[in-house]
Structure 1
C-alpha cells in the first residue's frame, strides 16, 4: 500500500489532474441512484495522497504554495460534479431551439463553479496538514466548512453533499437526525479517508479503531432508531398524491391546457381501493395548472365540484398578483389550499427561487447580453416573503416546500418547528429518466430523517411518494407513471429516537474537528522542533 500511495503522491502534470478528476467522478457513484457508498473508501484516500504531494516546486509565498492544493481539490470537485450533475443539461433541451447553446455551461460550467468549493476545502486542509490522522481530521473539517459555504453562498446549491454518500438507505440515514447534514459531511469524509493511513507509518491502529467505532455507531444507531415503534397516531391524515406525468414540452401549450386539467381531475376522482379511506387531502404537483386561475375562474368551480365534503385540495400553481388594469403583475410559484366549496383558503409562495430557472439575476445587465431564464413565463417569479404551516383536514399542520427548497437543511429546519408533516411539490419532468429525479427524491428522504417528520411528495413527473419520519419510503410512483398514491399518514409531531437539534450538533461536530486538527498540528510542530 505504501508503494501505491507513493506513486500517487509523486504524480505530476496531466497524470495528477486525471487522477484527481477520476477520483472525484468515482465518488459521485456513491450518490443516488447508484448508492455504491464503498467508493468513498477509494476516492477520499486518493485525495489525501494527492494532497500529500500538492507542494510548490520551490520556496514561494503562501498563495503560490497553496495553489497546487487548490488545483487538486478543484479537479477532484470538477470530476465529482460533472459525473453527478451532467443531467442538469436536460432542462435546456426541453426548448432546444432557444437554449441548446447553453448546454456546455450547464454540463461543464456549473461543475466548474461548484468545484471551487472543493478547491477551497483542499486549501483549508493544507493549512493544517501534518502526518497521520491529523491531516485526515483537517480534510474532514475543511469539507465541512466548504459544504456549508456551498449551501449558503450566492443563494446556495447544496445538491449531493459528500455526507450523502454515507446515507444510501434508511438504516444509514438515522445519524443525520442527531448531527445534521453538516455533521455527516465531516464524519463521512473522516471515515472514508481513513484507509489513507494504511500507507502511513503512524496512527494505523488508532485510525482503524476510530473509523470502525464511528462506522459501528452509525449502523448501530440506525438499527436502534428504526426499531422504535411508529408514532402513536394522535393525528391521522388520509391523502391522495397525484402524478399526472405531463410532458414538459407541452405543459404550457394553449391547445392542450384543457386536456391537462382534465387529467388532473380524472386522476383525483379515481375510486379508492377496497378498504382504503376516502382521501381527506388531495395533493397536486408544482405548477400543476397550465393556466392562471385569475384567467380561468371556471377551474376553481370544477375543483370545488371534484371535492367531497371535508376534503381539501393542495395544488402547486402560478399565482398572479396585480395585473390589469395596473399592468404591474407579479407572479409567484405557489401552493394553494382549496376547500370543498372551491374557495382558496390559504397560500404559500416559494421563498427560495432557482436562479436562471425562475428569475434572471442581474437582469438589467444579463438581459442586455441576450440571456434569459429557462422557465417560459411573461415575467420573472417573485420570491415569497415568508413560509407558514397550513392547517390540513383533521387539524394536522403541513409546511409546503416547492421543488428544490427541500434540499436546504437549514431552510427546512427553520420552517418546520410547529409542523406535523412536510409537503413537497415539484416538477422533475425537465430532467427525464436521469439521476436527477432520484437524487432529488433522496434528499427528501434525508430531510424526513433529519427533521423527524413524514414527507408527502407530489411530482408532475419524477418520483412522487410518501416517506415516513425515519426516511423510509412507504409508497412511491415510478418515473413516467401516470397514477395516484393513496396512503394514511400518522404523526405525533417530530419523531426522533433522541430529541436533539441536528443543526446545532453539526456545528459542534465541525468545531470538534477544527480543534482536533489545529491541536494535532500544533503538537506535531512542537515535537518536530
Structure 2
C-alpha cells in the first residue's frame, strides 16, 4: 500500500480516537481506531515505519483530543488565532512523539515477535510514560472510555491503564483470529464478561455519610481576577453557602477566592464562626503566599483550605505547564501574553501532605472524616489519586474549567474524575466555577450535576467509604510484571528464531 495512504489512515484513525471518550463515549469507535493502529504496527517493516505510523496516529489523536487548549490560548490567553492554531498543532506533534518513540523501540527490540502481545504492552508503556515525563500529561487514555462498559469492572483491579491494555489486546487478538482463522485467538475476549462479573463486587465498604453542597459561582473568566470583582465574588459565594448551613461540607471551586489566603483571613474568621455554629466545614480553593520571615517568603501555592467545623490546607503537587508554572521561565516570559497569565508562577506542593478534616455532628457525637483534595489537573493522575485516597473517606476536586469554555476539555476532565472514583471505590464531590459541578458515587457514576455556565449549588448526601481496592493496594505492579515477562519472552523467541535461521544457513 502507498505509504501516504497508510499515513492518512493512521491520521484519520487517531483523529477518531477521542470520539470514544467523553462526552461521546462511542467506545466501539475507539476499538476500530485501535485496530487500525495495531494493524499498522503489525505490518511495519522497520523501526522507522513503526515510528512514522505511530506518530501520524498520535498527531490525529492529540490534534482533535486536545483542541480545547485553543480556547485558553486564544480566548483567555491573548494569543491571536493565526498563532494559537499552529501552537496547538506543535503541541500535538510533540505529544505524538511519545507513542512513536515507544513503538519504534518495540520494533528495534522485538521486530514482529509476539506482536499480538507486545503491542498491548507497549501501548500501556507509552501511556504510563506520558503520565509522568516532564510533569506528565495523563489525558486521552484508551481505558478512560469505559466508565459504563463491561470493562469498567476492571478499573478497581488494574486501573484505566489495565483497561487500555485489555482494549489493545482485544483488537490484536481479533486480528490474529482473522489471519489464522483459528477461534482460539479470541480467548482474550473473555476478559469482557469477566469485567461484568467484577462489577458485582464491592471492594470498599460504607462507614457513614456527609451532607454535602458544591457551589458553582459562574464568575466570567474575564472578570474573575478584576479588583472590583473581589468583594462581589466573596459575597456571592457566602450568600449561596448561607442557604446550606445544614450541610456538613460546602465545597467552593479552585481559586473561588481571588485574593490570597492571608488577605482572606478576616473573612475566614467571620464566616468560620457561623460555620462552626452550624457544624459546617467550608473547603475552598485559594492562592497561598508564604509570609515574610520564612525562606520562601513571597512565593505562591495553588491551594485549598478547610475552615469552620474542619481544618487543613493542601498545596497542589502536579502543576500545569504554562498555566501554573512556565518551563524555561527566564527565557520565554514576555514573548506572548499567554506566558504571562495571572497566577502562572506557583510552587509545587510536597508529597505526603495531611488530608483535610471534616467533622460530622449527629446525636451529640462528633465523627471526623478525612477528605483527599485534588486541584484541577491533579484528578487526571491515577497514581496520585490512589495514593492519597488510601487513608481518605471521600475525594473532593476543585477546578476552574472556565479557561476552556464549553469545549471537549471540561467533559473529558469530568470523566477522568469519575474514573478515579471508580478506581478507588470512593465517592467524589467536584466543584467548578462554570461547570461541571457534580457528585459521583464509588462506582464512578454521575449522580447529580449542575447545568453548565449557571450559578447554583449542588446538594446531596455522600457516602463515606473505607478499605482499599486491588488497584490502590498493588498499583501498576501486575502490569509491570506482565510487561516484563512479555518482553523477555519475545526477546527469547526472537533470539531463538535468529539462531535457527543462522544454523539453517
Residue of structure 1 in register with 2:190 after alignment: 213
Q: 2:218 aligns with which of 245, 248, 255?
A: 245
Secondary structure class of the residue paired with 2:452: coil
Moved more, 506-515 or 210-219: 506-515
Deviations 1:327-360 (A, max 9, x none): 94111110001115xxx94211111111110111
Alignment partner of 1:137 is 2:117 = yes
Q: Distance in 2 between matches of 1:451 and 1:258?
A: 38
Q: Distance in 1 between matches of 2:54 and 2:118?
A: 14
Q: Distance in 2 between matches of 1:423 and 1:44?
A: 33
Q: Distance in 2 between matches of 1:339 and 1:447?
A: 28
Q: CA RMSD in A?
A: 2.8
Q: Distance in 1 between matches of 2:431 and 2:182?
A: 48
State the TM-score, normalizing by the size of structure 2. Answer: 0.89
Residue of structure 2 in register with 1:36 after alignment: 26
Alignment partner of 1:153 is 2:133 = yes
Secondary structure class of the residue paired with 2:374: strand
Q: How big is the shift at 1:237?
A: 1.4
Secondary structure class of the residue paired with 1:391: strand
Residue of structure 2 in register with 1:364 after alignment: 330
Q: Distance in 2 between matches of 1:491 and 1:526?
A: 59
Secondary structure class of the residue paired with 2:117: helix
Q: 1:172 aligns with which of 138, 151, 160?
A: 151
Alignment partner of 1:11 is 2:10 = no
Conserved 8 A contact 1:350-1:402:
yes
Residue of structure 1 in register with 2:364 after alignment: none
Q: How big is the shift at 1:390?
A: 1.5
Moved more, 403-412 or 510-519: 510-519
Q: Distance in 1 between matches of 2:385 and 2:460?
A: 23
Residue of structure 1 in register with 2:98 after alignment: 117
Deviations 1:143-184 (A, max 9, x none): 11111110111111111112223x142753220211123322
Moved more, 356-365 or 188-197: 188-197
Number of corresponding residues: 492
Q: How big is the shift at 1:496?
A: 4.1
Secondary structure class of the residue paired with 1:400: strand
Deviations 1:5-44 (A, max 9, x none): xxxxx232x3222111001112221111111111233222
Residue of structure 1 in register with 2:63 after alignment: 82
Conserved 8 A contact 1:184-1:506:
no
Residue of structure 1 in register with 2:349 after alignment: 384
Q: How big is the shift at 1:301?
A: 4.1
Q: 2:306 aligns with which of 337, 346, 368?
A: 337
Q: Distance in 2 between matches of 1:253 and 1:99?
A: 22
Conserved 8 A contact 1:455-1:469:
yes
Residue of structure 2 in register with 1:196 after alignment: 175
State the TM-score, normalizing by the size of structure 1. Answer: 0.85
Structure 2 CA distance for partners of 1:503 and 1:109, relative to 1, 3 Å: same
Structure 2 CA distance for partners of 1:212 and 1:516, relative to 1, 3 Å: farther
Q: Distance in 2 between matches of 1:361 and 1:479?
A: 32
Q: How big is the shift at 1:126?
A: 2.3
Q: Which runs of 5+ in 2 are unaligned?
A: 360-366
Conserved 8 A contact 1:456-1:465:
yes
Q: How big is the shift at 1:504?
A: 2.2
Q: How do 1:405-420 and structure 2 match up within 5 A? A: 405-420=378-393
Conserved 8 A contact 2:147-2:444:
no
